[in-house]
A and B are shown apart, each in its own frame.
Chain A
Amino acid sequence: DTEVTQTPKHLVMGMTNKKSLKCEQHMGHRAMYWYKQKAKKPPELMFVYSYEKLSINESVPSRFSPECPNSSLLNLHLHALQPEDSALYLCASSQDRLGGGSPLHFGNGTRLTVT
C-alpha cells in the first residue's frame, strides 16, 4: 500500500472517449506530479503542481489536461487520446520546501489502454 492513492487501477478507453484519472494524498504535501511510463522505459515527467498552481508542463499535448482542485487532489483529464498514449500513468507528491531534500512519494499508477 502507498500513501498516494490512484484510481482507477486500470482503464480502457476509445479514442473518442473522455475520461479522468484521479490521485489523492493526505500527507500535507503541497507539490504533486504526473508521470507517464511506457513499457520497459523510465517514468517521464508530464506536469508539476506547486501550491495548486501548475508550475511545470513538459510540452505535453493538450489532449492531456491536468487539474488540481485542492492540495490533496490531482486529476488528469483525457480526451481524444491515441493508441500510443497507452501507458502507466503515475502520480506523486512531495513537500515543497528548500533544504533537506524532499522525496517524492508515488502511487502505483493507472494502467491506461487506448483502443
Chain B
Amino acid sequence: DAKTTQPPSMDCAEGRAANLPCNHSTISGNEYVYWYRQIHSQGPQYIIHGLKNNETNEMASLIITEDRKSSTLILPHATLRDTAVYYCIVRVNQRNSGYALNFGKGTSLLVTP
C-alpha cells in the first residue's frame, strides 16, 4: 500500500470549513483513498473513500487531485465534536485476504469555539 503524509496537527474555528490535506504520491491505479477519524477513547470511524472522482456524503467531501497524488478531506461546518485524529489511508483491494487498513500517524484536528 502507498504511504501517506499528513500534517501532525491543525486548528479550525467552529462553524468554519476544515480542510485536511493528505499526500500519497506513490499511489497505484487500483488503490483507494480512505479517511477515518478517531475520537478519544473510541474506535476509528469511517468517513469517506474514493478512487478517482470526488465524493461527498453526509459527513464530508473528498477531493482527489487529477493525478491522484494528493487529496483533501473537507468538513464543511466544523463543530467541537469533530475534534479528533483524522487518518488518510490508501489501500489496494486484495480478494480473500480482507481489506486491512494500515494506519499512519494522522492529523490531530482541534476545533475551537
Q: What does DSSP make chain B's interface, helix, strand, loop or mixed?
A: loop
Which A residues touch B7, using CB under 8 A?
A: none
Q: Mark A82-104, 1 if CB is under 8 A from B, else 0.
A: 00000000101010111101111
Bound Cα distance from A74 to B88, whole angstroms? 26
With an 8 Å Cβ cutoff, the count of chain A residues facing the other chain is: 31
Let me know if A101 and B98 touch, CB within 8 A.
no
Complex interface: stretch among B10-18, B67-75, B76-84, B99-107: B99-107
B87 proximity list for chain A (CB < 8 A): 42
Interface hits, A31-81 → B, CB 8 Å = 31-33, 42-45, 48-51, 55-56
Q: Are B93 and A106 in contact (CB under 8 A)?
A: no
Residue of B nearest to A111 (CB): B41
User: B25 on the interface (CB 8 Å rule)?
Assistant: no
**What residue of chain B has the Cβ atom nearest to residue A30's Cβ?**
B98
With a 10 A CB-CB cut-off, give which of B87, B95, B100, B103 has the most chain A CB atoms. Answer: B100
Are A50 and B44 CB-contacts (below 8 A) given A42-B105, A101-B32, A103-B49?
Answer: no
Q: In the complex, what distance in Å separates the CA atom of A73 from the CA atom of B97?
A: 17
A104 touches B99 (CB 8 A): yes
Q: Which residues of chain A come closer than 8 Å to B85, judged between CB atoms?
A: 42
CA distance A97 to B96 in the complex (A): 8
Q: Which residues of B contact A51 (CB under 8 A)?
A: 96
Expressed in whole angstroms, the Cα–Cα distance for A94 and B104 within the complex equals 20
Instruction: Identify the A interface with B (CB < 8 A).
Output: 2, 4, 31-33, 42-45, 48-51, 55-56, 90, 92, 94, 96-99, 101-109
Q: Give me 18 other A-B pairs in contact (C-beta within 8 A), A42-B105, A45-B101, A97-B95 excluded.
A: A31-B98, A31-B99, A33-B98, A42-B85, A48-B100, A50-B96, A51-B96, A55-B96, A55-B97, A56-B97, A90-B43, A92-B43, A92-B44, A96-B95, A96-B99, A101-B34, A103-B49, A104-B44
Can you offer 30 A-B residue contacts whose CB atoms are under 8 A? A31-B98, A32-B98, A33-B100, A42-B103, A42-B104, A42-B106, A44-B103, A45-B100, A45-B101, A45-B102, A48-B97, A48-B100, A49-B98, A50-B96, A50-B97, A50-B98, A55-B97, A56-B100, A92-B43, A92-B44, A98-B93, A98-B95, A99-B93, A102-B93, A103-B34, A103-B49, A104-B99, A105-B46, A106-B45, A108-B43
